[in-house]
Amino acid sequence: MAENKTNLQIDSARLWRDIHETAKFGATPKGGVRRLTLGPEDKEVRDWFRVACEAAGCSVHVDALGTMFAIRPGRDMSRQPVALGSHLDTQPTGGKYDGVLGTLAALEVVRTLNDSGIETDAPLCVINWTNEEGSRFAPATMASAAYVGEYTADNILARRDANGVSVAEALQTIGYNGEEPVGQRRFSAFVELHIEQGPILEAEHKTIGVVEAGQGIMWYDGAITGMAGHAGTTPMPLRRDALVALSEVVLAVERLALAHSPNAVGTVGENVIANPSRNVIPGDLTFTMEFRSASAATLDALDAELREAIAEISKRRKVTIDLDRIFRKEPPRFDPKLVDAVETASNALGYPSRRMISGATHDACNLSDVIPTTMIFVPCKDGISHNEAEDATQSDCTAGANVLLHTVLSLAGVAKG
């Protein structure tokens, strides 16, 4: 039995088939998936998932925010389950792997254990979190955020989409308004397999990312007020050009993030010039920017350095630069024992791996506040996600699922028959 466990592998073909079978729920012509949370396609994939979990011997429970918990019993039902999973909703023009891989790989772990007749000491719980993406309802990762107490369920149920439909109404429409109170069900651990959504593993030819932490985030709204003017008649030295000032801000954000690289990233994602014209000097504009880092001290430093840079630009350019930090989330830390467990499993399976941080936010980042948590990453093509071109290989997805399997086995314990 011990030998069997070490050599145990998930059924690669079955996992790959499931990924492509569920991709038909919301399939786009370009090969992506459009499966907005709690919409008709989300109901389809949820129904498929419920049937599959029940067929694998699990009992499926749904909480008040529609999150699905599929319990595979363990030998010792007094132990808190080891949880594994991710999400099945996608971006409006999303791909086939983001969230889907981690959820279906969790189901595949259960099926593999069933096939091999392996019972774990602790129960397992395969989870499909509601609305990780945040495309239809804000905020992203709303169900796991409510699970850890960041919001009340009522607060989330009242959120409305662009058409005025509330989360409560959407849940009712598709029949996933569960009765279980949010946050009631407890777990001993949570492990989430996910595509990296970045280019590092692919660039370094690593198969497994052992995720130690997530990044903290600071979001800013900015506005620059200079002086609009005739592009032909205003001498260069007398200009107060808002776009020239923004250009220096954009390059300052890059310079500061690079100075803390690889421990920080910074991005100006949006800018809108007010009343733009090809022969008018931009006088007013708005922009958004963000910094991310896995270190709270680095976030503090970036904030201070940015404000210093902006004060200098503002003074020299004679423009007003307003910068409003609208959001800050502290960096989530994953559980060192769980991180070690992932690395051990990856090494035992012979996969090349590297420790890394998660650049993106995930449900795991919320859960790490209250439950020992970690994540497993596998490469995705060119680092692309949130895009119909999102791609990953069967071999890498299989490797990730195998690491998930052995990590979960080490955490749940295998019954000594």
Cβ closest to a copy of itself, residue 2 vs residue 238: 238
Question: Shortest approach of a copy of itself to residue 121 CB, angstroms?
Answer: 36
Binding track over 240-269 against a copy of itself, x by CB under 8 A? -x-xx-xxx-xx--x--xx--xx-xxxxxx
Question: Shortest approach of a copy of itself to residue 269 CB, angstroms?
Answer: 4
Q: Helix 40-55 crosses helix 100-116 at what angle (to 10 degrees)?
A: 20
Question: Shortest approach of a copy of itself to residue 263 CB, angstroms?
Answer: 10
Contact 219, 190 (CB under 8 A): no
Cβ closest to a copy of itself, residue 110 vs residue 257: 257
182 contacts: CB under 8 Å, gap ≥ 6: 63, 64, 65, 67, 143, 146, 147, 153
How does DSSP assign 266-279, residue by residue?
Answer: EEEEEEEESS--TT
Per CB under 8 A, the list member of 117, 279, 350, 417 interacting with a copy of itself is 279
Q: Does 235 bind a copy of itself (CB under 8 A)?
A: yes
Residues binding a copy of itself: number (CB under 8 A): 62
| 155 to 14, 168, 176, 381: CA distances (angstroms) | 39, 10, 17, 38
Cβ closest to a copy of itself, residue 212 vs residue 248: 248
Per CB under 8 A, the list member of 46, 96, 240, 292 interacting with a copy of itself is 292
Interatomic CA distance for residues 64 and 142, integer angstroms: 12
Contact 89, 170 (CB under 8 A): no
Question: Shortest approach of a copy of itself to residue 141 CB, angstroms?
Answer: 13
Per CB under 8 A, the list member of 383, 391, 393, 413 interacting with a copy of itself is 383
Token digits for 369? 């506040």
Cβ closest to a copy of itself, residue 165 vs residue 244: 244
Contact 113, 159 (CB under 8 A): no
| 391-401: burial string, b at 16+ Cβ within 10 Å, e else | bbeeebbbbbb
3 contacts: CB under 8 Å, gap ≥ 6: none
Cβ closest to a copy of itself, residue 215 vs residue 353: 215
Nearest alpha carbon to residue 94 among 133, 45, 68: 133
Question: Shortest approach of a copy of itself to residue 325 CB, angstroms?
Answer: 13
Interatomic CA distance for residues 131 and 250, integer angstroms: 32
Per CB under 8 A, the list member of 358, 368, 374, 410 interacting with a copy of itself is 358
> Which SS3 state, helix, strand or coil, does residue 286 take?
strand
Q: Does 303 bind a copy of itself (CB under 8 A)?
A: no
Interatomic CA distance for residues 9 and 11, integer angstroms: 7
How does DSSP assign 156-200, residue by residue?
Answer: HHT-B-TTS-BHHHHHHHHT---SBPTT-S--SEEEEEEE-SSSH
Question: Shortest approach of a copy of itself to residue 147 CB, angstroms?
Answer: 22
Cβ closest to a copy of itself, residue 148 vs residue 356: 356
User: Could you tell me the end-to-end alpha-carbon distance of the chain, in angstroms, rounded to an integer?
Assistant: 8
Cβ closest to a copy of itself, residue 109 vs residue 256: 256
Q: Does 281 bind a copy of itself (CB under 8 A)?
A: yes
Q: Does 301 bind a copy of itself (CB under 8 A)?
A: no
Token digits for 1? 């039995």
Question: Shortest approach of a copy of itself to residue 264 CB, angstroms?
Answer: 8
Q: Nearest 5°: phi and psi at 261?
A: -65, 145
Binding track over 184-213 against a copy of itself, x by CB under 8 A? ------------xxxxx--x----------
Stretch that binds a copy of itself, among 38-46, 80-88, 229-237, 366-374 (CB under 8 A): 229-237
Cβ closest to a copy of itself, residue 12 vs residue 234: 234
Q: Does 231 bind a copy of itself (CB under 8 A)?
A: yes
Q: Does 219 bind a copy of itself (CB under 8 A)?
A: yes
Residues that bind a copy of itself (CB under 8 A): 196-200, 203, 215, 217, 219, 228-238, 241, 243-244, 246-248, 250-251, 254, 257-258, 261-262, 264-271, 273, 276-282, 288-290, 292, 358-361, 383-387
